[in-house]
Amino acid sequence: MHRRIIGLESEYGFLFVNRGDRIFPPERALEYLFQGIMSNSWSRDAFLPNGARIYQDTGSHPEYSTPECDSVRDVVLFDKAGERILSRAAERVARVLLREGIEGEIHILKNNTDSAGNSYGCHENYLIDRSVTFWRLSRSLIPFFVTRQIVTGAGGLVRDAEDHVRFVISPRALHIREKISCSTTSSRPIINTRDEPHSDPQKYRRLHIIVGDSNMSEVSDLLKVATTALVLEVVEAGGISDRMSLEDPIAAIRKISEDPSLTVRVRLESGMELTALEIQRIYLEACQEYFAREGTEDSIRDILSLWERILSELSRGDESLGREIDWMIKWQLLDSYRKGRHHSWEDPEMSMLDYQYHDVDEHRGVYNLLLRQGKVVRIALDREIEEAMETPPKTTRARLRGEHIRAALAEHRSFTVDWTYMRLNDSPQETFFWMDPFTATEP
């Protein structure tokens, strides 16, 4: 597989709950959170020494962008590092507030919806060659993204207009309104047309995907970016084409999300009707054929084997997936809790457990509790995640950014930084440019 820059942007839900007599505004708690991450300033938009960016999005919640990665495993490591950075910042803020006589809890949730019906995004970014025809690429990829949720969906409870609650595979899927659009909020599309390559615009563009769920499961997180990278390469090489085009992708993505049995069929433009499993298998087989012909590295073979196994186990309804992919982990957790407590799906405790699954607190979050108990399969090692909290990827531009930020902080220098440059603001003013995201060293 040819080298590609990949990154994730995760929007986090933020909640501050007062527990004592002294009222403290949530907005101030959010200010303290950013101070806990960048203790040298009150900035709410900062690049970190690990090359990542964290900022306050739309005034109400934090968003974390991984540094540029050129391996899918690094994407998972740095995505999980973002969870821990926020979790530990929240712990520090809670201690500071307690010293000031303010009792309360900060909850940071890596999920996609809240009780008010808002949707938070997990945006994927893939660097592609400018010469690739964007519209043909998008048309070929849309059926893949519509059906990919059966592997990468976060799972969740949703309430309809009649106040009935049901479990869906992908909460995010229900907020998608268009196939392709420049918007990310009012008319959320599967593929966003934003053209900000953060590199040489003559050579590259950035494929911006906003259809996916935020994942707690490392397996789902890996498959989200890894299968997409493989399919993208096949489509770029002229494979798959648009023979899988769906008659109505927006209706299809909702039908699939609302069917945990995975039996619903969606209609293609050709008139053929297939299940999400069948469509995913077609993409898998196209990747297997392409990489068998072009040559398969061990890492690619591992991803293809994992993808094939997960699809096979989904087709059998294998309960072991309750240790691997998010929506199955959550389905088994909620269903077991419901039956054990004799609850209905509408019970408020069910919704609370749904949200608690996504709490990034290392001690309180339900997914992290399952992780400590050895009940979920892992991709990353703790020591690797800890390292990713401080150290950028070694093989991309993020290494240069991280090293310069670390040096500037150590010397108490004022600086301005973005994806492609860093400027020292005090005398003598210097500006460093990094237009090539594949470059990890400089003279």
C-alpha dist (Å) from residue 26 to 31, 45, 58, 192:
9, 18, 15, 31
253: nearest Cα among 310, 194, 179, 303:
179
What DSSP state is assigned to residue 119?
B
Identify the sign of the CA torsion 371, 372, 373, 374: positive
Element (DSSP H or E) covering residue 209: strand 204-209
* Residues contacting residue 117 through CB under 8 Å, at least 6 positions apart: none
Beta bridge partners of 309: none
- The answer to whether the CB of 141 falls within 8 A of the CB of 132 is no
Using CB atoms within 10 Å of the CB of residue 176, give its burial: 0 to 12 exposed, 13 to 18 middle, 19+ buried: buried
Tell me if residue 382 is catalytic: no
Amino acid symbol at 394: K
d(CA 113, CA 99): 33
Burial letters for 316-353: b for 16+ Cβ neighbours within 10 Å, e otherwise? eeeeebbbbbbbbbbbbbbeeebeeeeeeeeeeebbeb
Q: Which of 57, 70, 79, 354 is catalytic?
A: 57
- Active-site residues, by number, are 57
